[in-house]
Amino acid sequence: MLNKLFAVFYVFLIAAIFLFATPAWAADASKGAKIFSANCASCHAGGNNLVNATKTLKKDALEKYDMYSLEAVKNQIVNGKNAMPAFGGRLSDEQIEDVATYVLSQADKGW
Ligand code: HEC
């Protein structure tokens, strides 16, 4: 009887850990990595910029061009800028959020 109670308790415990303790950014950044390699890496492989070499995705460049925030990065992905195409029609809001999160977390890590 006690064993069964413990078994039930552990199932709930594991479910609770899974539901509440998984950091949201971990899932986002891993999805973002796939979106990045499919849509962005052609110009931004390794956080660089093959088209405009000064506008990299590295932290110092993002800070310099006022791009070091989730809102700024999302805005540029949606609308594009100069030689960078707009992804607003091609990626969902959630995908844009994921890939922007990935870009910022990679910038923090130094790519
Ligand atoms: C066709 C090439 C191309 C693709 C594909 C592309 N970009 Fe860009 N990206 C650029 C160019 C060019 C710029 C510089 C725009 C400017 O300011 O003139 C840029 C700038 C940026 C910046 C700002 C960098 C800075 O230092 O100011 C971010 C952030 C960015 N891109 C993210 C992305 C993401 C995320 C994707 C994929 C969803 C993507 N880009 C896809 C060409 C591209």
Identify the residue whose C-alpha is closest to ligand 1 atom 18: 82
**Does residue 1 fall inside a structural domain?**
no
**Does residue 13 fall inside a structural domain?**
no
**Does residue 15 fall inside a structural domain?**
no
Q: Which domain holds residue 42?
A: 25-109
pLDDT band at 53 (very low <50, low <70, confident <90, very high): very high
Helices (H), the chain: 2-21, 24-39, 41-44, 59-64, 70-79, 93-109
User: What is the position in ligand 1's atom list of the atom closest to the CA of 91?
Assistant: 38
Predicted model pTM:
0.82
In order of 9, 12, 19, 67, 99, the CA distances from 34 in angstroms are 37, 32, 23, 21, 8
**Does residue 100 fall inside a structural domain?**
yes
Please tell me the total count of domains within the chain.
1
User: What is the position in ligand 1's atom list of the atom closest to the CA of 39?
Assistant: 37
106 C-beta closer than 6 A to ligand 1:
no
pLDDT at 24 exceeding the cut of 90:
no
Per-residue pLDDT of 76-95, as tens digits, reads 999 999 999 999 999 999 99
**Does residue 11 fall inside a structural domain?**
no
- CATH code at position 70: 1.10.760.10
